[in-house]
Structure formats: structure tokens, C-alpha cells
Amino acid sequence: MSGWKELTSETVLNALPTDMGNLYRSWVDANPSKVNRLAEIVAETVNMFRETVEVYPWYVMDPDITKVPVSGFRHALDMVIFNLGMEMGVQFAPEVYSLVTQANVWLRMVQTGRIRAVDTIGDGGTPRFTKKSECRSQESV
């Protein structure tokens, strides 16, 4: 997958489930010192995802520091929502914990070079297969 996508506080607020969005607004109203906490969590997460990709010199980093690789965007968003919810005291369903595990697996796979976080070839995100040579296919006939 190629490209970069912006992840900001606004992006997160638009992605929050309605009930969690209402809970977040109430939490900020009750805790005015937390008004910037979402922005801090987003910045920490974006930084972590960018640093994971940045260690490989073949990736061309997007200069916009609010962007993460498209291939990891959903994982980064899930991680932000989870961390915000934990700070607010949200009791998540057990399935939600697997989303954070999947985000950590994505980060680890990028770190170990098992997956490409950003397209480095420039021809898109789908795999390309080459046809077996004609000689080989005639041998099997």
C-alpha cells in the first residue's frame, strides 16, 4: 500500500463512536486540564508510527509530521482511541484489546522488514505475478 494519511485530533474525534464522543466531551468538561490530552496522544502515536518507518532509508518520508503510512492508519487510529479510552476509564469489550495487539503486530512487522509500510516501488499496492515461461508450460503437456 502506498501513501500517507493525516491523523489529527479532529480525525480521531470524527472516528469516535457516538457514545465515546459524548463521554470524551463530558470528560474534558469535568477535567479542564485534559483539554490537550487527545492532541498529545495523537502526537505520540503518530511519532511512534513515523519512527518505526523512518529507520529504513528506502522509505520516502512525508514531510508532514501529522501523517502516518496509509497501511498503518487504522492501527494508529485504533491505538489512539484505545489509549484515550483507557485514560477516561472506559471499560472496553475484550475484542477491543485485539485491535491494539494488531497495531503492535503491524509495528513489529514493519520493524523487522516483514511488510512494507509504504510503497517503495511506485507501481501500486497489488502484487504482481509473472506467467511461467512458454517452454515450461509446453513441457508439462
DSSP string spanning 76-116? HHHHHHHHHHHHHT----HHHHHHHHHHHHHHHHHHTTSS-
Q: Band of the pLDDT at 116, cuts 50, 70, 90? A: confident
pLDDT at position 122, please?
52
Secondary structure letter of residue 69 according to DSSP: E
pLDDT at position 36, please?
97
Render pLDDT for 3-46 as a digit per residue (tens, 0 to 9). Answer: 899 999 999 999 998 899 999 999 999 999 999 999 999 999 99
Grid coordinates 498529545 are at which residue? 40
Q: What are the phi and psi torsion angles at 4 (to 5°)?
A: -130, 150
Distance CA 73, CA 70 (A): 5
Q: Tell me the average pLDDT across 71-99.
A: 94
pLDDT at position 132, please?
57
The single-letter code of the amino acid at 31 is N
Global pTM value = 0.80
3-state secondary structure of 68: strand
The single-letter code of the amino acid at 136 is R
pLDDT at position 126, please?
47
Dihedral sign from CA coordinates of 9, 15, 19, 20: negative
